[in-house]
Amino acid sequence: MSDEAKSESLATIDISELDAGEVLERLRAVEMPETIDHDTPSIELRRARGGDNLLMGLDKPWRIDVRGTLGDYALAFNRLAHVRVRGSVGDGLGESMVSGAVRVHGNAGVGVGVAMTGGTLAVYGNAGDGCAAALRGGEVFVRGDVGHNAAHGALHGTLVIGGDAGMNLGEAMMDAMIFIRGRIGSLGQGVAELPLIPKDSVRLGLLLINAGIRGDAKDFRRIVPQRVFDEEQRRKGVIGHPSWR
């Protein structure tokens, strides 16, 4: 497909005066191609003005380009859809997301990716408190800073932080992992900070590429559950806590 064809929109919808239900109705009315892939044109949603609950529960492999801001609980329960938001969003972005990909070219409020089970969620600005709390799968990326209690109670999945983190990072984290490049206000209980090992450096590099985020994996450190740290130290024959910072 030519670059010109790629740039065309499948449909253009002005959502400035539409509520969440009306937006879904308009999306479902768009005739979709039989085969959907990364070259499929997007549905362009123009003049988004910060309404709440927009694009919740998307359950088709739509490719959507949002121009403007979204309010609270945007793209919660997303399944299959690939969405790019060219503006900031409110609280609860991508809560309980199942699959697909969401990329926000702006800032996000509290609770980004809470209880996600799969998919890719990327914020290219900053995110508020509780980012990736209760994460159960998938990857959450924040190019800027995150607030307090990021990845609190995360069970599985990955959180990548390109900037700084607030207090209690990773509190009560289980089998999840955090990669962070910036400063940490404080670590939560039950987690430890370690430098990258080669296999994680390769994995992080691929994750950054997947999220469309430029960065060198070697600049990041790992935040892992204490038992993972203890096992690595046991293998090395090292006792005690690291002092990487």
**Residue listed under structure tokens 């609770």:** 111
Distance between CA atoms of residues 230 and 232, nearest Å: 6
200 neighbors 222 (Cβ within 8 angstroms) = yes
The 3 state secondary structure assigned to the chain is: CCHHHHHCCCEEEECCCCCHHHHHHHHHCCCCCCCCCCCCCCEEEEEEECCCCCCCCCCCCCEEEEEEEECCCCCCCCCCCEEEEECCECCCCCCCCCCCEEEECCCECCCCCCCCCCCEEEECCCECCCCCCCCEEEEEEECCCCCCCCCCCCCEEEEEECCCECCCECCCCCCCEEEECCCECCECCCEEEEECCHHHHHHHHHHHHHHCCCCCHHHCEEEEEHHHHHHHHHHHCCCCCCCCC
| pLDDT at residue 244 tops 70 | no
- Per-residue model confidence (pLDDT) at position 109: 98
- Per-residue model confidence (pLDDT) at position 245: 41
| pTM score of the predicted model | 0.90
| pLDDT at residue 8 tops 80 | no
| pLDDT at residue 111 tops 80 | yes
| pLDDT at residue 170 tops 90 | yes
Task: Report the candidate in 111, 188, 191, 94 with the shortest Cα–Cα distance to residue 147.
Answer: 111
pLDDT tens-place string over residues 220-243: 999 999 888 777 778 776 544 454
Domains observed in the chain: 55-234 (2.160.20.60)
How much of the chain, in percent, has pLDDT values that exceed 70? 93
Torsion over CA: 203, 97, 67, 87 (sign): negative
